[in-house]
Amino acid sequence: MMLKSELNRMDDLTRRQLIAKTAKAALGVTLLPIGSQLARGAATAAAGGKAKHVIYLYMAGGMSHIDTWDPKTGDTKGPTDPIKTKASGMMLGGTMTKMAQQADKISIIRSMSSKTGVHDQGNYLMHTGYDPRGTIIHPTMGAWGTHFLGRMSKTLPDSVIVNASGGAGAGFFPPAFSPIPITNPAVGLQNIQPTTADSNFKKRLDLMNEFDAGFRKKFQSAEIKAYSDFYDETLSLMKSEDLKAFDLTKEDAATRAKYGTGSFGQGCLLARRLVEHGVRFIEVQTGGWDMHNNIDTAMGTTGAGMDNTFAALLEDLASKGLLESTLVVMGSEFGRTPNINENAGRDHYPKVYSTVFAGGGVKGGFVYGASDEGGREVADKQVTVQDYLSTVGYAMGLPVDEVVMSPSNRPFTVGDKGKPILELFA
Amino acid sequence: MKPSKALILSIGCLVLATAVAKAEDAATTARTWTDSKGRQVTATFVGLQGDTISIQTAAGQIFNLPLTTFSAEDQAYAKSAKPAVTYVAVNATVGQAAAAVDALVVKGLLAGRAKITKDNAAATLATDKRELPKPNPLMTDEQFVRRVYIDIAGRIPNYDEAKGFLTDASPTKRAKLIDMLLDSPGYASNSYNYFAEMLRVKDRLEQDNLRGVDYITWMQKQIAENRPWNEMVYDMVTAKGKMWHNGAAGYLLRDGGMPLDNLANTLTVFLGTDVACAQCHDHPFADWTQRQFFEMAAFFGASDTTNRAAGMKTRELSEAAVALAEKGGGDPQRIRNGISNFIRANNNEVVDSDKNRMKLPHDYKYKDGKPNEPVEPKFIMWDTKKDKGNPAFKQSKSKEEGLRESFAKWMTHPSNPRFAMSIANRMWKRAFGQGVAEPVTNIDDPEKASNPELLKHLASEMVRVKFDLKAFMRIVYNTQSYQREATSEEVKMGEPYYFQGPQLRRMTAEQAWDSYMTLVVGDADKFTKPLDSLYGRSVDLDLTNEKLDAKTVLMKYSAFQGMAAKERALMGGALGSDDMMMQSKKGKGKDAAPDMMMENASMSFDGMVLRRAAELEQPERGGHFLAEFGQSPRMLIDGGSKAGSVPQVLMLMNGKAQQMLTNSDSLLFKTMDKVNNPADKVEAVFLSVLSRKPTLAEKDIAKRGIESAGSDGFSNLIWALINTREFMFVQ
């Protein structure tokens, strides 16, 4: 035991580290909130915590704010004129014709601001709330959810990421918290059935473990252990009754067509199925947003496709009564330059951009914050990426101010000490 | 580890260390040298070869002078002093060069031990104390053969290759195998995968559906011909024209319309200088300012990736052609997009003008410039004092058309402070799993490297071999440091690594796939993609030709569509068809195994084309083995992933790849047929899959397993081995 005086001599952080150690837990030890503004109970009891599920729509490449959620009429106007929507006073970019009809379901934050105009860093930040560092990988929101709330389904994974693989994933949490990557939603989860009889499959597994025992004993690295965990995880998933959640052929042709036949449309349909079967956090990515050239054409394809799919998803969730318990969030690493460049496109612009929230207890037809006339600067209520992710965490009922120690004994919180935007919630 | 073994190792380590220390005495002590005419110079002794003395002045310059030039005293000194270990003669053998690298690794390891000992003494918590690194044991032939095949040829050895090496009694067989592999097609394929990931090489580019096939082909050719790295990079940065006329132009066209991103990538990958943040603001950690970034960008300020002169013609032609085509019926939107993309692809061209248009950004907020102010090109300096005298910085900047050439000459110059160092550090990481400086994209301060002296030495070696990457890797693979066992302890993120051996690592997606191809077809390099690029030939339009009219454009467009369909077929259906994984093409050729068929000179299995990763679409689509195993989507620098996942495990356990291998018509079963008794068959499977013989215990396990499973016995054995972590990880 350490002497009390010594304990007092240590600075605050080291003392917390020591407490964390003596708590005997190796991973993701939870400490009491420090400087607590929102206790866990308060978060769940108030408007937050209604989002049992989250669908994160990630627009890779940097979605132009002016051509989508924050339209302008002056000299920075894009190729289309802003249009009126079902929500009074809320205007949208001219391509967002179908979302205009769903505007009563969404909240827009028009005063997002970050410092990084680089895809890699921006992407990491919009998923973790932290800048990338060479010394640690931070968890993404789904992994935070699993950490605080436990697994939702016994056999299905807690997080799924569609149209992407890699990324920060579980961060410093156990690899089993990683989202399952589905790189092609149309085929879903492939190879789910063993190609041999169950009894023989078991023999194969036993044989594998016997042959591999020496190697695993010699190399006890986290990487090897993670692989072994994935084998366990996969075996339990193979027994799941809910695997049809991944099978889009169970949907009728009209529904599949309505969402859009591309990977984003099918990905969002898959997300809805996963929500129905008890998956907590589903991210669906789509690219094509790095519109440095000919933004007119690009918005006509990528923009219109997103508009169609997003609207179909909201409509579908609402009609199935899932929108109250499902938060749909749309984000991107940054916005795009207000000025159209010489290639009729727009370049990277982190200074001000927009994100969208729908369902999960947030208001409809609501706009939070504003950019200035040209969409160049934040004019009102600046929102950081940390605030944004804390808001998502708040909606999920996560204790966003609770400090969690990484295995390397460094303190982290959901959304890196951002402040949830409470005004967004109904 | 047993104490006796540890002791032996540390003694070995000490002996080497003494050698380094002694050598260092001579190498670091400057003395005054006097020539026969009485002139004097202060320099350190480098070495004596025959009748030539090599000395190094404080400026780092090495002089090779006849022994007789010097005074008798100097001559006596040169004959008795030990030469510097780290100095490598211009014409040094691979062995000599490798020994110099090894000496520096040991030196760094000892420095690391000293540092950790000191840190441990100061640490209060027992958990903060770290173990002292010591060199790993030297690797066995079985470990060696597997690792070099994967590291150099990008795949595991097949049965004959593994067996041939293990039974070879020649004492020089390791060096010979390294030479053989460096000259094999696998080297080119594997290296291409590495650079394609680093440079984000892709086929389907975002702008105007432009395709990168000709850039890909160009790069593969350069690598296969072992073009020196500096020349290859020079070509990429300075190339002009359309991609299908000059493949190297693909480097700038890859990032068409985004010159600032392209520059940030250029500085990051080629110079290890991470200035991307400075695009928007002064770099928060390093010293780079936003102004410096734009001064560098000014070297590209007179260049463009769009041929604007052809812009007017493009629009007119598009409109006319679309109008003509719409008369024929069909979906107007589709026709419009198709034709307009076809014509616009021809606007993607690297052109230079005589006007530098680079300006500071409209929201520039620092005192050293005004918003929208024109910027003059200026090279960044890492060390103002040293860099001023550096010949790399002496480039003319007078002619605007020549700005890119000036930049490229500066960047690829042997004396550029970071160019050789950056590629050397990256190549080292390929062999050891970790760069001497990490991250490899940021080596602004070489002194922060885990072994700064080694880093600088590797950079000078890169220059000495004249950027011949094969020659450089030959040295690295021949070092004792490389030929040690993989480190079994966990290496924590952010902690320095002292190269006690290479790190254990998972195969890349491409290496895993190519290893499967080896197991399936034996000679994985047998099947290649169709050589000719049909794309470039069919998409090309001469927009400067006055006579080009809408009718001709439409005819060419229809030919282009035909070519695209033909190419899809040639690529085995991998291109353009979204549902490729669901297509089931079950044909039964007489000579081929069931469910495999010869198709366009490539094998395919159940819709999956059996060619090496470098010969498939770049990158492969979602759902493909390569995508599931983390092949980079080629959006971000070094964007591949080696993380495990559930879909990967499902693929290994239940996917097509294992079906091909456990099938009784597979190559593995044919290999087993070469021997008669069951124990030899087990050995054949072990050699094929794990490149090693089974241990006695494993033979026993295999025997029991096979006997208990009846006709599934050998399939089970194969399945079990390809599902081990030992298979997926490189020891």
- Calpha distance B79→B76 (Å, rounded): 5
Contact yes or no for A49/A38 (Cβ under 8 A) = no
The whole-number pLDDT of residue A272 equals 98
**pLDDT tens, residue by residue, B383-429:** 888 888 899 999 887 777 799 999 999 999 999 999 999 999 999 99
- Calpha distance A396→A393 (Å, rounded): 5
At residue B125, does pLDDT exceed 90? no
Nearest CB to A183; choose among B363, B622, B635: B622
Put simply, the answer to whether B493 touches A136 (Cβ < 8 Å) is yes
Selection from B463, B441, B253, B479 nearest residue B349 by Cα: B253
Contact yes or no for A343/B306 (Cβ under 8 A) = yes
CB of A347 within 8 Å of a chain B CB? The answer is: yes
* B43, containing H or E segment: strand B40-49
* A411, containing H or E segment: strand A411-412
End-to-end CA distance of chain A: 51
Identify the three-state secondary structure at position A93: coil
CB of B372 within 8 Å of a chain A CB? The answer is: no
Mean pLDDT of chain B: 86
B137 burial type by CB count under 10 A (0-12 exposed, 13-18 middle, 19+ buried): middle
pLDDT band at B570 (very low <50, low <70, confident <90, very high): low
* Closest chain A CA to residue B344: A294
Burial code (b: 16+ CB inside 10 Å, e: under 16) for A41-63 equals eebeebebbbbbbbbbbbbbbbb
CB of B646 within 8 Å of a chain A CB? The answer is: yes
* Closest chain A CA to residue B125: A18
Q: How many residues does chain A have?
A: 426
* B30, containing H or E segment: strand B30-34
Nearest CB to A184; choose among B623, B642, B716: B623
> Which residue ranges in chain A fall short of pLDDT 70?
1-47, 134
Strands (E), A335-405: 335-336, 348-349, 353-359, 366-368, 370-371, 378-380, 404-405
Residue with tokens 């290893």: B515
pLDDT band at B316 (very low <50, low <70, confident <90, very high): confident
Selection from B127, B226, B147 nearest residue A17 by Cα: B127
| DSSP letter, residue B401 | G
What interhelical angle do B94-122 and B469-477 show, nearest 10? 60
CB of B725 within 8 Å of a chain A CB? The answer is: yes
| Low-confidence winner among B101-110, B504-513, B564-573 (lowest mean pLDDT) | B564-573
Contact residues on chain A for B662, CB-CB shorter than 8 A: 195
Residues linked to residue A331 through DSSP beta bridges, in sequence order: A58
Distances (CA, A) of A95 to A35, A62, B27, B599: 45, 17, 70, 44
Contact residues on chain A for B729, CB-CB shorter than 8 A: 215, 219, 223-224
Contact residues on chain B for A135, CB-CB shorter than 8 A: 493-494
Give the minimum alpha-carbon distance from B230 to chain A in angstroms, rounded to a whole number.
Answer: 27
Cβ pairs A/B, distance under 8 A: 229
CB of A184 within 8 Å of a chain B CB? The answer is: yes
Put simply, the answer to whether A191 touches B654 (Cβ < 8 Å) is yes
B730 burial type by CB count under 10 A (0-12 exposed, 13-18 middle, 19+ buried): buried
Secondary structure of B586-606 in HEC code, one letter for each residue = CCCCCCCCCCEEEECCEEEEC
Half-sphere exposure of residue B669: CA atoms within 13 angstroms, side-chain side: 16
Interface mutation vs chain A, best among B351, B653, B690, B707, most A CBs within 10 Å: B653
| DSSP letter, residue B346 | G
Nearest CB to B582; choose among A183, A187, A195: A187
Label the pairing between strands B729-730 and B505-506.
antiparallel
Put simply, the answer to whether B649 touches A228 (Cβ < 8 Å) is no
Tokens (6 digits) for B107: 């030196």
The whole-number pLDDT of residue B159 equals 96
Identify the three-state secondary structure at position A228: helix
Put simply, the answer to whether A347 touches B258 (Cβ < 8 Å) is yes
Predicted structure pTM score = 0.84
Label the pairing between strands A180-182 and A159-162.
parallel
Nearest CB to A195; choose among B492, B649, B659: B659
Put simply, the answer to whether B726 touches A348 (Cβ < 8 Å) is no
Put simply, the answer to whether B709 touches A137 (Cβ < 8 Å) is no
Higher pLDDT, B633 or B571: B633
Put simply, the answer to whether A212 touches B725 (Cβ < 8 Å) is yes
Selection from A297, A308, A286, A329 nearest residue A97 by Cα: A308
Predicted ipTM beyond 0.85? no
Put simply, the answer to whether A194 touches B653 (Cβ < 8 Å) is yes
Residues linked to residue B204 through DSSP beta bridges, in sequence order: B211
**pLDDT tens, residue by residue, B29-70:** 678 888 888 888 877 777 777 787 877 666 555 677 888 888
Put simply, the answer to whether B647 touches A163 (Cβ < 8 Å) is no
CB of B140 within 8 Å of a chain A CB? The answer is: no
Contact yes or no for A341/A347 (Cβ under 8 A) = yes
Contact residues on chain A for B280, CB-CB shorter than 8 A: 115-117, 348, 350
Contact residues on chain A for B279, CB-CB shorter than 8 A: 117-118, 348
**pLDDT tens, residue by residue, B434-492:** 999 999 999 989 999 999 999 999 999 999 999 999 999 999 999 999 999 999 887 77
Contact yes or no for A111/A368 (Cβ under 8 A) = yes
Interface mutation vs chain B, best among A208, A225, A249, most B CBs within 10 Å: A208
The count of other CB atoms within 10 Å of the CB of residue B628 is 29
| Low-confidence winner among A16-25, A403-412, B597-606, B690-699 (lowest mean pLDDT) | A16-25
B475: Cβ contacts below 8 Å, ≥ 6 apart: B94, B97, B98, B101, B461, B465
The count of other CB atoms within 10 Å of the CB of residue B420 is 26
**pLDDT tens, residue by residue, A289-336:** 999 988 998 999 999 999 999 999 999 999 999 999 999 999 999 999
CB of B707 within 8 Å of a chain A CB? The answer is: no
Phi-psi region of A283 (alpha: psi -120 to 50; beta: other; left: phi over 0): beta
Contact residues on chain A for B725, CB-CB shorter than 8 A: 212, 215-216, 219, 224, 227-228
Contact yes or no for B375/B360 (Cβ under 8 A) = yes
Selection from B728, B731, B730 nearest residue B648 by Cα: B728
- Calpha distance A194→B450 (Å, rounded): 47
